[in-house]
Amino acid sequence: MLQQTQVARVLEKFAPFVARFPSPAALAAASEDEVLAAWQGLGYYRRARLLQAAAVRIVEVHGGVVPSDLESLAALPGVGRYTAGAIASIVFGVRTPIVDGNVSRVLQRVGAKAGASNDAAVSSWTWERARQYAFAADDVGVANEALMEFGGTICTPAAPRCGACPIAHLCQAHARGQVAQIPAPKIRSPRSEVVMVCVRVTRDDGAVLLEQRPARGLWASMYQPPTVALTIEPAKGITPARAAKGITPARAAKLVAIACKCKKVGELEVITSHRVVRFVVFEAQLRGEFPAAKQLTSPSRVFVSQAKLREFALSNAAKRVLALAAK
């Protein structure tokens, strides 16, 4: 939960999640909808799916008990080198390194290793340094946690507290006056731009029409108001701004296959790890037209009452769209 999500938000969600799924077996037996609903508010729902897939493997291969060896941990869905090393060393005391952003920054600065932490050569240098550190430690779990904590509290990215640093005398970046340059900014590929048209359809009684997204890709299997992504072809002059501009209410209704009148309520932008998604939001209010409301439902589209909305896994983007349309 803590990967990419703030501690304060995780603190609200962790206890209810663990109370609801107290063991790998309980998590493995739950439906994906239940798990995603319990994950709501944490974002990056792929982690929830992978956590459940890991629980299934733990039940099927390891008798419901989390394995302690690095190889079995690394074979669990969603568990990479860092997570396997963290669980193995901190929980089970296995002598193995872990490298996260904090560890990488500290080791690079102490060794004056220039470059971005996600550069392949820098990364392999850092893992080797972390391995030497893990093998020199008395208690590898405590040592690994200490290094991460040190990076989070003393050797911070923008304002490291070198004056209060207990290992300043060992730090080569400090000695050479290179602290501000190490590490270099991460290498990032540019985000792609996406335009989505969506219509919030509300019944007289306040129920809203939701549909489930495809099982793969962005916000997989999550619920949203009827939405369609537009084709963007900059080479043919169809830029995101141009695509979004040409959407009339009638066109929006046609695109999302909603046979009712709607009006535009605004636009909003959502930035994900790999995309910038611009939503063009419309709203349709059905007044006493319950037969018409029935025609809008299908196996993948259902009207959901306000009271039941919490039981449906909505991405933060879908929640923002619903809130904008409700205004």
Distance (Å, whole) CA 325 – CA 197: 12
**Residue 155 touching ligand SF4 (CB under 6 A):** yes
Query: Rounded to whole angstroms, what are the CA distances from 194 to 93, 197, 230?
Result: 45, 10, 7
Q: Which is nearer to ligand SF4, 7 or 180 (CB)?
A: 180
Sole window of 136-144, 170-178, 210-218, 255-263 interacting with ligand SF4 (rule: CB under 6 A): 170-178
Cβ nearer to ligand SF4, comparing 56 with 179: 179
Instruction: List the interface residues with ligand SF4, window 175-234 (CB under 6 A).
Output: 179
- DSSP notation for 68-119: -SHHHHHTSTT--HHHHHHIIIIIT--------HHHHHHHHHHTT--SBTTS
Which residue has tokens 């939503």? 279
Interface with ligand SF4 includes 58 (CB under 6 A)? no
Kindly report the number of other CB atoms within 10 A of residue 210's CB atom.
23
Helix boundaries (H) for the chain: 7-20, 24-29, 32-39, 46-62, 70-74, 81-86, 101-110, 120-136, 140-153, 172-175, 240-245, 249-255, 290-296, 316-326
Interface residue with ligand SF4 among 57, 109, 200, 203 (CB under 6 A) is: 109
Question: What is the smallest separation between the CB atom of 123 and ligand SF4, expressed in angstroms?
Answer: 19
Residues sharing a CB contact under 8 Å with residue 30, sequence separation 6 or more, in sequence order = 21, 52
- Site for ligand SF4 contains 114 (CB under 6 A): no
Radius of gyration over alpha carbons of the chain, in Å?
A: 24
d(CA 210, CA 202): 10
56 binds ligand SF4 (CB under 6 A): no
3-state secondary structure of 231: coil
The nearest distance, CB 139 to ligand SF4, in angstroms, is: 21
Rounded least distance, CB 132 to ligand SF4, Å: 16
Encoded tokens for 59: 């039940």
Q: Tell me whether residue 64 or residue 152 sits nearer to ligand SF4 (CB atom).
A: 152
Nearer to ligand SF4, 43 or 160 (CB): 160
Query: Torsions phi, psi of 116, nearest 5?
Result: -80, 145
Is 276 a binder of ligand SF4 (CB under 6 A)?
A: no
Compute the least distance from the CB of residue 153 to ligand SF4, in Å.
10
Tell me the window of 134-142, 161-169, 199-207, 306-314 that interacts with ligand SF4 (CB under 6 A). 161-169
174 binds ligand SF4 (CB under 6 A): yes
Query: Is 168 among the residues that bind ligand SF4 (CB under 6 A)?
Result: yes
Q: Is 154 in the site for ligand SF4 (CB under 6 A)?
A: yes
Of 222, 170, 205, nearest in space to 40 by CA: 222
Q: Which CB, 181 or 248, lies closer to ligand SF4?
A: 181
Q: Does 167 bind ligand SF4 (CB under 6 A)?
A: yes
Per CB under 6 A, contacts with ligand SF4 among 69-108 are 106
d(CA 19, CA 289): 42
* Min dist. Cβ of residue 283 to ligand SF4 (A): 52
Contact with ligand SF4 (CB under 6 A): which of 43, 85, 160, 183? 160
Q: Whole-angstrom Cα distance, residue 132 to residue 50?
A: 31
Residues that bind ligand SF4 (CB under 6 A): 106, 109-110, 154-155, 160-162, 165, 167-168, 171, 173-174, 179
